[in-house]
Amino acid sequence: MSKGFLEIENLSQRFPQPDSNDLLTVFEGVDVTIDKGEFVCLIGHSGCGKSTILNVLAGLATPTDGNVIMDNKEIKGPSLDQGVIFQNHSLLPWLTARDNVMFAVRARWPNWSKAKRREHAERYLHMVGLDDAMDRKPSQLSGGMRQRVGIARAFAIEPKLLLMDEPFGALDALTRGVIQEELLKIWSETHQTVFMITHDVDEAILLADRVLLMTNGPHAQVAESVKIDIPRPRTRATLHQEEAYYPIRNHLVDFLVEGAKVMSAKAQEAAARGDNPRHTPRIVNPARPEAEPEHSSQPGPRMVRAV
Amino acid sequence: MLSNLNFRATVLSLVMLVVFLGVWQLATAPDVLAPQQGELSEYERLMGGGTDRTSSSGIPAPTQVFSHAFSELSNPFYDAGPNDKGIGIQLAYSIYRVLLGFALAALIAIPLGFVIGMSPLLNKAFDPYIQILKPISPLAWMPLALFVIRDSNMSAIFVIFICSIWPMLVNTAYGVASVRNDWLNVAKTHQLSNLRTAFTVILPAAAPTILTGMRISIGIAWLVIVAAEMLVGGTGIGYYIWNEWNNLDLASVIFAIIMIGIVGFLLDASLAQATKFVRYAD
C-alpha cells in the first residue's frame, strides 16, 4: 500500500451514553488516503461524525481508535500545519480584519518584521477581495466578508492541510456562490491540500477533486470515494453544461437520499455480527461507469478482513 | 430626534432642580409669621439657645450652602491645623486612600481571578471562601485591621482594599472562564503558548468584564471610604463631614455631601471611559 500525504487509518470514535453502559459508536474503521494538493469534500447526514473526523484531523479531538498520519508524522494535537476554517468565522472581534490575519501570520513566523507580516496579510486579504475592508472589525463586516477574512487567515499561514467545516453554511446562496469562486481562485494559486465538510452537493462538485460519502450513524462508514471527473478551471456558470455534471450529481444525491440509509443498516448488521469494521471507501467515477474497478449493482463498502 | 430628546431631558432636569431648590429655599426661610416663642426647647438650648437661628428648622437655605461652597472652593487647599483644612485637601486624602487600596486590590484580584477563571479546580476550591468573605461589611474588618496594622491611615486603606477586591476577583474569574471556545480553539490551532494565549486572546476577550468589576469596586470603595474615615478620623472627606457635624456647621455637611457625589461620579465616569477602549462588538 503506497503511503499518501495524509493517511487516516482505522479511525473510530465511540462516546459513552448517558443511560447505558454500551458505548455509542459514531463511526468506525475509517481508512482514507488523501494526496498532496488534493481538494476533498466529505458529505454525509447530520450526526454521522463528519465534524468529529475534521476535529481529529485538526488535532482538536482525540479518536477512540486509529490514527492520522500527515507527511509521515502522526497528528497528535493542533498545530500550524493544519489550518482550520470553522462555520462560525471565529475571528477575534477586538481585532481588525488585517490584525486578525496578522495575528495568525505572527504565530506562524514569529521572527518576521511587522512590515513583512503586514504585507503578507494584506496579500491574502487582497486575494479574497477585501482591499477596502482591512481596517474594519468583524462586527462591521457582513457574514460573507467575515468568512473571507477567515479564509485569508487560514491560507495565510500556508498550512500543509486546510480543514473547512461547512465554511459557507451560514451564508446566503448568492454570497456563498461568490465566495466559492474566490476559494477556487485562491486554491488554484496555492494548491493547498484541502479537506472540507459540506452539505451542498453542488458546492462539492464545483470545488472537489474527490467527494467522500458517509453513511448515517451510528456505525457510520466512509462508503464511497466519488471522483469528480470535470476539468478545471470550473465556474458555477458553466458547471452544469459539463457532460459529467449530471451523472455525478445524480449519484451523490441518490446516495444521500437512499444509499446512506441502506448502507447504514448493513453496517449496523455487520457490527452486530462482530465483523471487522475496517473499510476503505469504494472508488466510484459516475462520469465513466465502465472505468470503475469493481462494478456492482448493490453498492456497499468493501470490508477489509485482515488488518 | 435624539438631540431633541436630549434637549427635552436637559430642560426637565433643570426644571426639577429649580423646583427642588425653590422648595428647599421656602422651607428653610426665616419664620416671620410665627415669631420665636418664649420657651426654648431642649434641642434649641443644646443648639446654642437658638440665638443664631438661620432658619426655622436649623437647616441652612440653599443660598447659604452655595455661598459657603463658593468660599470653600475659592480656596480649597488651605491648611490651618488638624481641624481646619480646605475641602480640596480632605478630598485628596480620601481619593489617595481609595486609589491606593483599589490599586492594591486590583494587583491581587486580577491575576488571581485570571488563574481561578482558567482552572475549574481552583474555581471550585476558592468559591466557598469568596462566597463567605464577599458579604462581610468592609467596616467589620476595621478593629482587626487597627489591631494588626496599628496605623489608622493604613487600616482605612486596608478596608478599601478588602472591599474592592471581591467584585474584581469575581468578575475577572467569570470573564476569563467564559471566553468563547471558538477563540480558544483559534489559539490552539495557531499553537500559541499558554502565556501568549492569556495575553493575546483571553485578556482582550475578558477585558470588558474585568473593567466592569473594577467599576463596581471603585464605586463601593468610594462609598466605604466616607464611613471608614468617620471611624479613623484625622483627615479625609468622611472625617470632614463628621467634624463639621460636631461643629454644627450643616452648610459644610451639605456641601461635603454634594462634593462626595461629584467625586464619586467622576471616578465612575473615568472607568466608564476606560471601558470604551476595551469594549468590542461581537
| Interface contact A84, partner B, CB < 8 A | yes
Q: What is the pLDDT of residues A74-125, one digit of tens each?
A: 998 899 999 999 878 789 999 999 999 999 999 999 999 999 999 999 999 9
State how many domains chain A has. 2
- Summary mean pLDDT of chain A: 86
* Contact present, B116 and B128 (Cβ < 8 Å): no
- Summary mean pLDDT of chain B: 89
Q: What was the pLDDT predicted at A292?
A: 53
Interface test with B, best of A84, A87, A91, A94 (most B CBs within 10 A): A94
Contact B190 A88 (CB under 8 A): no
Of the candidates B190, B201, B205, which has its C-beta nearest A104's C-beta?
B190
Note whether A205 and A144 are same-domain residues.
no
Note whether A186 and A150 are same-domain residues.
no
Cα dihedral: B171, B126, B122, B177 (round 10): -20
Note whether A171 and A217 are same-domain residues.
yes
Answer whether residue A223 is part of any domain. yes
Note whether A36 and A120 are same-domain residues.
no
* Position A305 pLDDT exceeds 80: no
Contact A78 B188 (CB under 8 A): yes
User: For the stretch B204-240, what's the b/e string if a residue is b when 16 or more beta carbons lie within 10 angstroms of its beta carbon?
Assistant: bbbbbbbbbbbbbbbbbbbebbbbbbbbbeebbbbbb
Among residues A158, A179, A197, which one ends one of the domains?
Answer: A158
Note whether A179 and A60 are same-domain residues.
yes
Contact B282 A157 (CB under 8 A): no
Q: From the CA of B200, how many Å to the nearest CA of chain A?
A: 9
CATH superfamily of B87-278: MetI-like (1.10.3720.10)
Note whether A126 and A154 are same-domain residues.
yes
Give me the CATH number covering residue A214: 3.40.50.300
* Contact present, A269 and A222 (Cβ < 8 Å): no
Answer whether residue A128 is part of any domain. yes
Note whether A135 and A197 are same-domain residues.
no
Q: What was the pLDDT predicted at A16?
A: 86
Amino acid at A41: C
Answer whether residue A276 is part of any domain. yes
Of the candidates B192, B204, B282, which has its C-beta nearest A139's C-beta?
B282
Instruction: Kindly list the residues from chain A whose CB atom is less than 8 angstroms away from the CB atom of residue B282.
Output: 93, 139
Instruction: Kindly list the residues from chain B whose CB atom is less than 8 angstroms away from the CB atom of residue A55.
Output: none
Q: What is the pLDDT of residues A18-33, one digit of tens each?
A: 887 788 888 888 999 9
Average pLDDT over residues B41-60: 61
Q: What is the 3-state secondary structure (H, E, C) of chain B?
A: CHHHHHHHHHHHHHHHHHHHHHHHHHHCCCCCCCCCCCCCCHHHHHCCCCCCCCCCCCCCCHHHHHHHHHHHHHCCCCECCCCCECHHHHHHHHHHHHHHHHHHHHHHHHHHHHHHHHCHHHHHHHHHHHHHHCCCCHHHHHHHHHHHHCCHHHHHHHHHHHHHHHHHHHHHHHHHHCCCHHHHHHHHHCCCCHHHHHHHHHHHHHHHHHHHHHHHHHHHHHHHHHHHHHHHCCCCHHHHHHHHHHCCCHHHHHHHHHHHHHHHHHHHHHHHHHHHHHCCCC
Instruction: Kindly list the residues from chain A whose CB atom is less than 8 angstroms away from the CB atom of residue B205.
Output: 92, 94
Q: From the CA of A276, how many Å to the nearest CA of chain B?
A: 34
* Contact present, A75 and A9 (Cβ < 8 Å): no
- Domain residues for the domain of A266 are 6-75+162-303
Among residues A103, A131, A158, which one ends one of the domains?
Answer: A158
Average pLDDT over residues B135-162: 94
Report the chain A residue with the minimal C-alpha distance to residue B190: A80
Instruction: Kindly list the residues from chain B whose CB atom is less than 8 angstroms away from the CB atom of residue A80.
Output: 189-191
Domain ranges of chain B: 87-278
Note whether A98 and A204 are same-domain residues.
no
Average pLDDT over residues B143-160: 94
Check residues A197 and A306 and name the one with the higher pLDDT. Answer: A197
| Interface contact A86, partner B, CB < 8 A | yes
Least confident interval from A219-233, A243-257, A287-301: A287-301
Looking from the CA of B125 toward its CB, the CA atoms found within 13 Å total: 10
Q: What is the pLDDT of residues B89-105, one digit of tens each?
A: 999 999 999 999 999 99
What are A111's three cell numbers? Answer: 521572527
Of the candidates B189, B200, B280, which has its C-beta nearest A93's C-beta?
B280
Least confident interval from A104-118, A126-140, A162-176: A162-176
Average pLDDT over residues B104-113: 96
* Position B201 pLDDT exceeds 60: yes
Average pLDDT over residues A284-304: 59
* Position B33 pLDDT exceeds 60: no
Note whether A284 and A257 are same-domain residues.
yes
Instruction: Kindly list the residues from chain A whose CB atom is less than 8 angstroms away from the CB atom of residue B191.
Output: 78-80, 107
Note whether A152 and A236 are same-domain residues.
no
Note whether A68 and A179 are same-domain residues.
yes
Among residues A139, A158, A177, which one ends one of the domains?
Answer: A158
Report the chain A residue with the minimal C-alpha distance to residue B182: A90
Note whether A28 and A91 are same-domain residues.
no
* Position B31 pLDDT exceeds 90: no
Amino acid at A241: Q
Answer whether residue A1 is part of any domain. no
Q: What was the pLDDT predicted at B145?
A: 94
* Position A260 pLDDT exceeds 70: yes
Q: What is the pLDDT of residues B59-75, one digit of tens each?
A: 899 999 999 999 989 88
Q: What is the pLDDT of residues B116-146, one digit of tens each?
A: 999 999 999 999 999 999 999 999 999 999 9
Report the chain A residue with the minimal C-alpha distance to residue B180: A90
Measured CB to CB, residues of chain B less than 8 Å from chain A are 182-183, 185-186, 188-192, 200-201, 204-205, 278, 280-282
Answer whether residue A86 is part of any domain. yes
Instruction: Kindly list the residues from chain A whose CB atom is less than 8 angstroms away from the CB atom of residue B192.
Output: 107
